Amino acid sequence: MKNIYYLIAVIFLAITVTSCKESSVNENKKINDESPLQHTGTIVSKEQFDTNKMKLENITEQTFSTTIKVTGMIDAPPQSVEIISSFSGGYIKNSSLLVGDAVKKGQALVTIENPDFIEMQQEYLEIVEQMTYLKSEYERQKLLFEEKITSQKSYLKAESDYKKNLAITNGTRKKLQMLNINPTSVEQGKIISAITLYASISGNITEINVSKGAYVSPADVIIKIVNTDHIHIELTAFEKDLMQIKEGQKIKFKIPEASNTIFDAEVHLVGTSINEATRTATLHGHLNDDEKHNFAIGMFVDAEIEISSNQSKAIQENAIIENDDKTVVLVLKSFNDDLYSFETRSVTIGKKQDGFVEITSENIKPTDKILTNGAYGLITSESGGD
């Protein structure tokens, strides 16, 4: 009877062991059948690697700059801006220009008419005619005085009248020239009722403040012309940063409201006074290739001034993954049987610039292959070794 119980126990034990083995085999088969991504998050098949356009890269040497952020605007130097106004008031007789029109140096811009111009020319003619008589009388009295025929008083009076009239003649002549009236033509009897204002620089019209028939005073701005061939940027820097900014330093800037294109310039002048209200100073920057642009005066500028630079180890920014309060990268361990095996490695990073991140830790070697595209999603909650 004891032998029968012993035989039953042996058979039950054998069945239990066989069942456990089969369960273990099935479980292992289930795990092996799962995709590499599901298994560890660091094993990738070649098909998955190619399909997801993953890339492997080595670390490289990149230049990282220390910069100061500033803001400002596109501006033009004083010699590139002209305000057109009249030295005398009058009514606009003719103006066919529009804002944005290009003008050349010496081009007629606007015609102003005023009866006062006629009176001024008439007065000039009268003064010139009187000048002929007074000059002749002065020379005659001078000769008589030298020969002691006339008194000194008569001579001095003739001299005074002549020189007084000469000053009035020269002054009136200059006024006519400032109004673009030719004194020689007036002396020939050619009197005009309207004057023409001309451009003294080439450029584009940015302001027109009058219309035909409008009255303008001498202080009124009639037209504004800006030459944008050699524009610059006016930047504002805070007092705390000013000591680090020097002439010749590189500037990178963009027009945030217009595009993300980065343009190059350099510091040309650094302001020597601080605005007491804002505690800022003005910087003047010259553009590189300033003729190859379509900037408009007054455009807002976001800029960075490079105050120093250094060469460091770097990797593309998309290789860096934030995981469990750590910064990690995936480093290739092996490639066998069409399977990529990656190690999750913690790294210390520094500056970011132009799509690259500075690697400051020493656990990444130049020979290491790092996953730079597709790393996100392969990182699991399990941390890799350093």
Give the model's pLDDT for residue 12. 45
Q: Which class is domain 34-64+312-373? A: mainly beta
Q: Is the per-residue pLDDT at 34 higher than 70?
A: no
pLDDT digits (tens, 9 = 90+) for 326-365: 888 889 988 888 898 888 888 999 888 888 999 988 888 8
Give the model's pLDDT for residue 377. 62
Instruction: Give the C-alpha separation, 205 to 98, whole Å.
Output: 7
Q: How confident is the model at residue 379 (pLDDT cuts 50, 70, 90)?
A: low
352 C-beta neighbours (distance < 10 Å), count: 13
Report yes or no: 268 and 284 within 8 Å, Cβ to Cβ: yes
Q: Is the per-residue pLDDT at 106 higher than 80?
A: yes
pLDDT digits (tens, 9 = 90+) for 78-93: 889 999 999 899 999 9
- Give mean pLDDT, residues 310-321: 88
CA atoms in the 13 A half-sphere facing the CB of 193: 6
Q: Is the per-residue pLDDT at 28 higher than 50?
A: no
Give the model's pLDDT for residue 49. 87
Q: Which of the following CATH numbers is that of domain 67-78+226-309: 3.40.50.10740, 2.40.30.170, 2.130.10.10, 2.60.120.620?
A: 2.40.30.170
Least confident of 117-131, 159-173, 284-298, 300-314: 284-298
Instruction: Give the C-alpha separation, 318 to 39, whole Å.
Output: 23
Q: How confident is the model at residue 238 (pLDDT cuts 50, 70, 90)?
A: very high
Instruction: Give the C-alpha separation, 222 to 91, whole Å.
Output: 11
Domain spans of the chain? 34-64+312-373, 67-78+226-309, 85-224
pLDDT digits (tens, 9 = 90+) for 186-232: 999 899 999 999 999 999 999 999 888 999 998 899 999 999 888 89
Q: Does domain 85-224 have CATH number 3.40.50.1100?
A: no
Q: How confident is the model at residue 292 (pLDDT cuts 50, 70, 90)?
A: low
pTM (2 decimals)?
0.61
- The CA-atom distances, in angstroms, between 19 and each of 31, 67, 90, 222, 323 are 18, 69, 113, 102, 41
